[in-house]
Amino acid sequence: MSSTNRAQSSVIGVAVLVAVTALSIGALTVAAGTFVADGVAAADAQRVADDLEHVGEWGTHTTRVEFSDGTLRVEPRTVRVLRGDRAVVRVDAGVLVYENRARRVASLGGVLVDGRRNRSSLQEPLPVVVEGERVLVDVVVLNASGSTAVGGSTGTAVTIRTNATHEYRTLRAGRYTVAIETATPSAWERAFEETGVDVERRDFDDDGVPSVVVPIPGETTVDLALHDLRAVVGSG
């Protein structure tokens, strides 16, 4: 590749990273917005979506979230980038889950997943984008403290205090694999397979939650974007 092509590739890579960053942060803000009907009043879902509007924005914010039924909780998840058999990046991404008896919506790594198990589907673009000899891996890292689960059936108020920072790095050329730990692997598998990529499942830490493993074809350079969303979750 010529120096001109490399320069153009870098410019394109940065532009796509900025665009994907906006999509990833936005996914956290609308996680409850799709949680409509099926036992939850549309007005309740809209209120939660409105409350979460500012969660994930740059800088420091405090958001009060209210809903009449269901649970908002944080669960541990890991995103890995492997070169060969070795994990060169391991991110404790965390997942924000809003659920009641009828529906489940989760935001993992900045991607919104609607539904349970085999009936789940991705509502946002994939966080892995291949651009020629470069791969963009874009992950929202949910570093949550405080309450790990807040909810009830008589009305619940949740306060989320967030501070978002952003880190960008480049991994040297090699043969890479991306592994995303998720309780709804079918949704991720379908989304990746629709792009023509073969995937497999693997439980890296034997905790019963599989990872969707995505091999990147050929030798590529990885542009990694990590959006660290430090969140304190509490009642009231």
pLDDT score, position 57: 56
In this predicted model, what pLDDT tens digit does every residue of 17-41 receive, in sequence order? Answer: 444 444 444 444 443 333 333 444 3
| Confidence class for position 5, pLDDT limits 50, 70, 90 | very low
pLDDT score, position 60: 75
pLDDT score, position 10: 39
| Confidence class for position 146, pLDDT limits 50, 70, 90 | low
Q: Could you give the maximum distance between any two Cα atoms of the chain, in Å? A: 64
If one compares 143 and 111, the residue with the highest pLDDT of the two is 143
Residue labelled with tokens 């010529």: 2
Among 146, 134, 171, 122, smallest CA distance to 235 is for 146
Ordered by start, the domain boundaries in the chain are 3-235
Residue 21 Cα to chain centre, angstroms: 11
**Single-letter amino acid, residue 149:** A
In this predicted model, what pLDDT tens digit does every residue of 151-182 receive, in sequence order? Answer: 666 677 777 777 878 889 999 999 999 999 98
Among 87, 85, 84, 43, smallest CA distance to 66 is for 43
In this predicted model, what pLDDT tens digit does every residue of 184-215 receive, in sequence order? Answer: 888 889 888 888 888 999 999 999 999 999 99
Among 73, 80, 77, smallest CA distance to 234 is for 73
pLDDT score, position 17: 42
